[in-house]
Amino acid sequence: MGIGQQEIDIINHAHSVIVVLVPGMGDEVQTMKAGIMEIADVFVINKANRSGAKQLHTELMSMLNSAPASPGEWRPPIVMVGNAFEPATFAEKVAELVQKT
């Protein structure tokens, strides 16, 4: 389901919230300010084989590292999912995503 700034009620109805980001689809900093980053249980970088995916991963890690964390507190993992036309790798990453939710 798509989600925007005003539609974060999904956190009250879903077991796990996955925020899917795609590299190169606009200003990642603006996305991080959009109010949806705080609701993620898992981040997925889709189309991770594209240019900019590693940069997006670095920015997400930086954002997560800047938030104060208590010992034992949940930290959303980041799963990078690549090209669906490479079935073995794609299936492996989807299986990793399933394990994280």
Predicted TM-score (pTM) of the model is 0.78
Q: How does residue 77 score in pLDDT terms, banded at 50, 70 and 90?
A: very high
The H-assigned helical ranges of 1-101 are 28-33, 53-66, 87-100
Half-sphere exposure of 2 (CA within 13 A, CB side): 1
Cβ neighbors of 70 (< 8 A, separation 6 or more) are none
Q: How does residue 66 score in pLDDT terms, banded at 50, 70 and 90?
A: confident
| Residue 16 bridge partners (DSSP) | none
Q: What is the pLDDT of residues 6-57, one digit of tens each?
A: 566 777 777 888 888 888 866 655 655 566 778 888 999 999 989 999 999 9
